[in-house]
Amino acid sequence: MNISSFDGLPDETRIWIYAAERKLTPSETTLLEKRMSSFIVDWTAHKRELRASWAFVYNQFVIVAVDESLMTASGCSIDSMTRNLVAFEAQIGCKLVGTGMQIFYRTEEGGVKNLPRLAFKSQVEQKKVTGDTIVFDNTIQTLGALKVGQWETIFQNSWHSEAFSAQL
């Protein structure tokens, strides 16, 4: 995972993780890079510049970071980030915002897969997802949590195991 764009940001930096419902193509990735780079440079809260950065990970996850020790991201500024990504979704025909009802995890081969919650629960019940399956916790909120591996963690140590009543 390459998060070098976050170098120099403190561990308390607030993050948002957006997960695409599928891997993006190279041309879509180029469009995303142009859109997000332009957005981040001009991103403000209450007409004050935000110290922000972003990364695109595994051709599927957009991670946005704001150092709120300098300026807090306001509701309006967060809404503008969301609108920017929704506009991108419309451009490429792939959801990034609102995929919270999907569970993202690694396959045995190491690829990223996502399923609706009920289908994921079925995979758990059928023991196709085990305690050692790597799951993505897209709800983490700080760069420090990302750096120490709380984003990609094993199922048995994640909120997923409680949510899906796993008897592993």
Domain limits, the chain: 4-92, 102-137+149-163
Contacts 24+ apart (CB under 8 A), 124-132: 124/155, 124/164, 124/166, 129/105, 129/155, 129/166, 130/155, 130/168, 131/155, 131/156, 131/161, 131/166, 131/168, 132/156
Helix axes 75-92, 26-42, angle to 10 degrees: 160
Distance from the first to the final alpha carbon of the chain: 28
Angle at 60 between CA 26 and CA 53, to 5 degrees: 95
The pLDDT tens digits of the residues spanning 49-65 come to: 888 999 999 999 999 99
The pLDDT tens digits of the residues spanning 33-46 come to: 999 999 998 887 78
pLDDT beyond 70 at 3? no
Residue with tokens 């289908």: 119
**pLDDT the model gives residue 4:** 62
Among 24-33, 48-57, 138-147, the minimum mean pLDDT is found in 48-57
The pLDDT tens digits of the residues spanning 114-131 come to: 999 999 999 999 999 999
pTM of the model: 0.92
Q: Which of 99, 142, 118 is nearest to 151 (CA)?
A: 142
Q: Which residue has the higher pLDDT, 24 or 166?
A: 24
Cα–Cα distance for residue pair 57/71, rounded to 1 Å: 26
Angle at 54 between CA 53 and CA 60, to 5 degrees: 175
Residue with tokens 């997802």: 129
The pLDDT tens digits of the residues spanning 72-112 come to: 888 888 899 999 999 999 999 999 998 889 999 999 999 99
Cα–Cα distance for residue pair 166/168, rounded to 1 Å: 6
Q: Who's near 107: CB < 8 A, 6+ residues apart? A: 113
